[in-house]
Amino acid sequence: MRYRHFLKLLVAGAVVLAALAGPALANPTILFDLNSGKILQHQEAFRRWYPASLTKLMTAYVAFRAIAAGEVQLDSPIKVTKHSAGEPPSKMGFKPGSVMRLDNALKMMLVKSANDIAMAVGENIGGSQAAFAERMNAEARRLGMSGSHFVNPNGLYSPDQYTTARDLALLVMAIRKEFPQYAPWFSIEGLAVGKKAISNYNLLIGRYPGADGMKTGFVCSSGFNMIGSATRNGRTLVAVVLGEQSAVTRAEAAAKLLDQGFATPAPSWLTVAALPAYGDTMSANDMNDEICKKKPVEEQSEAAPAVGDKGKDVPKSPYQEKLDHVPTLIAVGLGGATGPKPKAMLDASGQEYADVPLPTWRPDRAPPAGAEPAVVGARPRRASPRPWPGPPPPRRSNGRPRR
């Protein structure tokens, strides 16, 4: 009886919090206190959503865990594979075979939201995209992210890659609490790659008082996603906003939630982990028609519309204005990777796998006697289930082989 009464209280608390959040909107949101995990507001928190580049937070988390486990080091080499180099923008555009330090790769992935670098990180640490996705899903299960599933490390659209606002809140808490040493990476104002300056897509950084992270994301099917955190007087709040209409409106929505949170002295007793599931938890919303069939191409981007553009007769958002100070840029680039190679990229003898296609025999000719020729450094191929040891077997008149 006490257990049932407790469950009723949990559900009642969830309903009250939803009411406090205001009228229901299409897009999911959640606002919570990072240190306690207590929720201040939430809306559609369990609705499936395409994460877009918010996926890269899980990629970073798996990388941090791999560093802690000794599989890789911050100065370990991350090589751009042919596959990763072919990923679509946003990207750094390094050629296949280019090598960088892991820490530089992660900074490019988090600030530039580079899809090619995220894939390279996943392939190098996991051994392959599929193997890394398995690790992402394993971590999601361990963290209790029951509404999430991953198939790639960069967040490019797949119908099988989805998450929820509540799950992302769990991920943020894990990153910030388990790996506080990497917190400064999420508040980098910009990168310097040679003579090129790259601004952070998170428009709260440098503009919203106390802003200190974390990540943005966009694909047509997700709309404009954002996780924004800020710290004031030792109190850190995190806002998760999914499915906004532009880079500017997602920043405005996150800022509004944070403002409301800092104006609320005491959050609810209900935590992110204890929030009972509600609403539609199965179907994933797709915003492709709304975002990319109705908006001009220049608005289908992580980058905000022209900052300070005076050609439009509309009031400028503070998140469209230029920074009121010279941004601090962190230098990144290729080279400097003197650490040990990722263990997933080494074979049993300690040699690095070759990023080359394996040769195959022409289908109109039988393979010669013995095993297929080995390729130095390549992953071993699984033998065919019924290899012929010598010349083709004799055939019947109907053309089928004798057995």
Q: Give catalytic residues, as residue numbers.
A: 53, 56, 113
- The three-point CA angle 165-29-227 to 5° equals 70
DSSP 242-283: EEESSHHHHHHHHHHHHHHHHT-SS--S-BTTTPPP-S--SP
Burial track 125-160 (b if 16+ CB lie within 10 A, e otherwise)? bbbbbeebbebbbebbeebebebbbbbbbbbbebee
Give the tokens for residue 74.
């911050």
335/110 Cα distance (integer angstroms): 19
CB neighbours (10 Å) of residue 277?
12
Contact 228, 202 (CB under 8 A): yes
- Residue at token pair 């065919």: 384
Contacts of 119 (CB under 8 A, 6+ apart): 81, 83, 84, 87, 129, 152, 153, 154
Contacts of 169 (CB under 8 A, 6+ apart): 30, 32, 45, 238, 240, 272
216/203 Cα distance (integer angstroms): 9
Contact 183, 213 (CB under 8 A): yes
CB neighbours (10 Å) of residue 296?
7
Amino acid residing at 300: Q
220/318 Cα distance (integer angstroms): 25
170/32 Cα distance (integer angstroms): 10
